[in-house]
Structure 1
Amino acid sequence: MWISRAGWSVLNMLQLIFTLAWTAGLIGVAFVVLLVTRQRRLPLRMAARCWVPGLLWGSGAKLVVRGVDRVDWTRPHVVVANHQSMMDICVLFRAIPVPLQFLLKQELSRLPLVGAYAKAMGMIFVERSSAREATKRMREAAQLVKAGATLCVFPEGTRSHDGEVLPFKSGAFQIALDSGADVVPVAIEGSGKVLSLGGLFRVRPGTITVTIGAPLRTVEIADRQLLAAQARESVVALKREAA
């Protein structure tokens, strides 16, 4: 479908307005549910079952999920995924069939409403400029996983501009080792084309594929550098599988 540059700008502005309104509305409902139930499970699942489908519809994106049955989701895990776009958080909420929490950079905690929601849902924020604070947050994350949570980390540390998987930083894998949880590699393909890094809010219709790999057992890989390397190799292989 051919649309002029001006047409895309108008459409993307309408999509941005819808995204902000939809997100604010669902966050408001999530806060009410959290207040009533005093539990995070239901509002976290609302993100997967209500918020994300609305965002996918608004962007014209289709989500394809593969490999869910490779993992025993009754156990806590540390999910590690490549990072192409802010859409990645949305699609992972939808793709992972259990309540999902994230290890996020500290800057996101300052976003209006979204930051408050993330804190209320138990997300862990890492101040990357302070090694001492980062270590403290990693320990908190390990305790969260020990308590039964499934935690998602983007070990590249930033979004890839060309879709290639960047080297994985090993620090996040200490969470898996300290908690005793297995690492689940996940490859995301297509999110960077749906929501591009270029421009204020550049959205294009497309297919996003999430491929979930077999868990890497931390009882068999006790070195975090080796664990990071093997996890990256798995994600790269899963991206090829999705191609």
Structure 2
Amino acid sequence: MIMEDAKPPCRAEDLPSRPPMQSSWLTLLVQQVLGIGCYLFFVLPYLGGHEGFNDLDGNRRYLFVSNHVSLLDTILLGGLFWSRQRVPLLVLGDAMVWQETWIRRLLSARLGFLIERDKKTKARIGELQSFGRSSKSFNLLVFPEGTRGDGMKVRRCQPGIYFAAEASGLDMVPVFIEGMQEVSSKRHPFRPFSGLKKIRLRFGRPIPPEEYLALDRDAMTEMVREKIQALSPQALA
């Protein structure tokens, strides 16, 4: 997922950008079908439990910020969100990664807001803000580290999360995915049997916009990292 190299604090109305995505009956239908598959074939066999998700207000949209271990993170969270009627969901993604294969293109067609890494900074900021403004129709999901980690330590978050969050106006919910590395990671292929019921999800307290927007960009991105890391098993031990 791409969230990097965003420099000057530009205003949203000053930047060229594609329009925010809007939900439609086709988007909702596709996500319902994908959600059933994700839930049956991934969530049920691999998710051992989750904490904090049922405490969230089912009538509100949120900006979810999660650590990133595997491309299967999106399938895991998408399946869980479908099971709790939290679709439609929009995921910020790297176009290069999600357009490599036909199955990735299929999954991202009605689920992903894809950004190209080689775009100039101002154009990328504008797209991040358009993603944030898509909150009128979607719950939003971002993997703010910008790359896949080891499933234990949360890396420095990329500054693009600041622009997406600012434009969204949503409460931000930190998420920690525990145990995904037992199933799949950047360095290891999919292991269908060793990771059965090994994954746990922890959802933190929603952070209102007035709390995170009171911080400057660097402080806000570090706060996001700390909130996600605080949900890790090492921090809770």
> What TM-score does the superposition give when structure 1 sets the normalisation length?
0.74
Secondary structure of 2:35 counterpart: helix
Q: 1:227 aligns with which of 199, 205, 220?
A: 220
CA distance 1:55–1:103, shift in 2 (3 Å)? same
* 1:193 maps to 2:182: yes
* TM-align CA RMSD: 2.4
Instruction: State the alpha-carbon separation in 1 of the partners of residues 188 and 51 from structure 2.
Output: 30
For the 8 Å contact 1:70–1:213, the answer to whether it is kept is no
Give 1:162 deviation, angstroms: 5.9
CA deviation string 1:106-137 (max 9, x = no partner): 11342333344345315211222322332232
Instruction: State the alpha-carbon separation in 1 of the partners of residues 156 and 190 from structure 2.
Output: 27
> Which amino acid in 2 is paired with 1:79?
F
1:172 matched residue in structure 2: 161
1:42 matched residue in structure 2: 29
Secondary structure of 1:156 counterpart: coil
CA distance 1:63–1:93, shift in 2 (3 Å)? farther
CA distance 1:95–1:106, shift in 2 (3 Å)? same
Aligned residue pairs: how many? 204
> Which amino acid in 2 is paired with 1:82?
N
| Relative contact order, higher structure (CA 8 A, sep 6+) | 2
Give 1:199 deviation, angstroms: 4.4
Q: 1:52 aligns with which of 39, 49, 62?
A: 39
Give 1:53 deviation, angstroms: 2.0
After TM superposition, the structure 1 = structure 2 runs for residues 200-215 of structure 1, keeping only pairs within 5 Å, are 200-203=189-192, 204-206=194-196, 207-215=198-206
2:5 matched residue in structure 1: none
Which ranges in structure 1 are unaligned for 5 or more consecutive residues? Answer: 1-36
- Asked which structure has the greater CA Rg, the reply is 1
CA deviation string 1:3-62 (max 9, x = no partner): xxxxxxxxxxxxxxxxxxxxxxxxxxxxxxxxxx843123213333323321356xx523
% identical equivalent positions: 24
Which ranges in structure 2 are unaligned for 5 or more consecutive residues? Answer: 1-23
* 1:151 maps to 2:140: yes
Would you identify which runs of 4 or more consecutive aligned residues in structure 1 move more than 3 Å? 199-203
* 1:101 maps to 2:90: yes
Instruction: State the alpha-carbon separation in 2 of the partners of residues 92 and 242 from structure 1.
Output: 22
Instruction: State the alpha-carbon separation in 1 of the partners of residues 148 and 109 from structure 2.
Output: 25
After TM superposition, the structure 1 = structure 2 runs for residues 111-190 of structure 1, keeping only pairs within 5 Å, are 111-118=100-107, 120-130=109-119, 131-145=121-135, 147-161=136-150, 163-190=152-179
CA deviation string 1:196-222 (max 9, x = no partner): 333454443341001111111112221
CA distance 1:109–1:196, shift in 2 (3 Å)? closer
CA distance 1:219–1:93, shift in 2 (3 Å)? same
Instruction: State the alpha-carbon separation in 2 of the partners of residues 239 and 45 from structure 1.
Output: 30
> What TM-score does the superposition give when structure 2 sets the normalisation length?
0.75
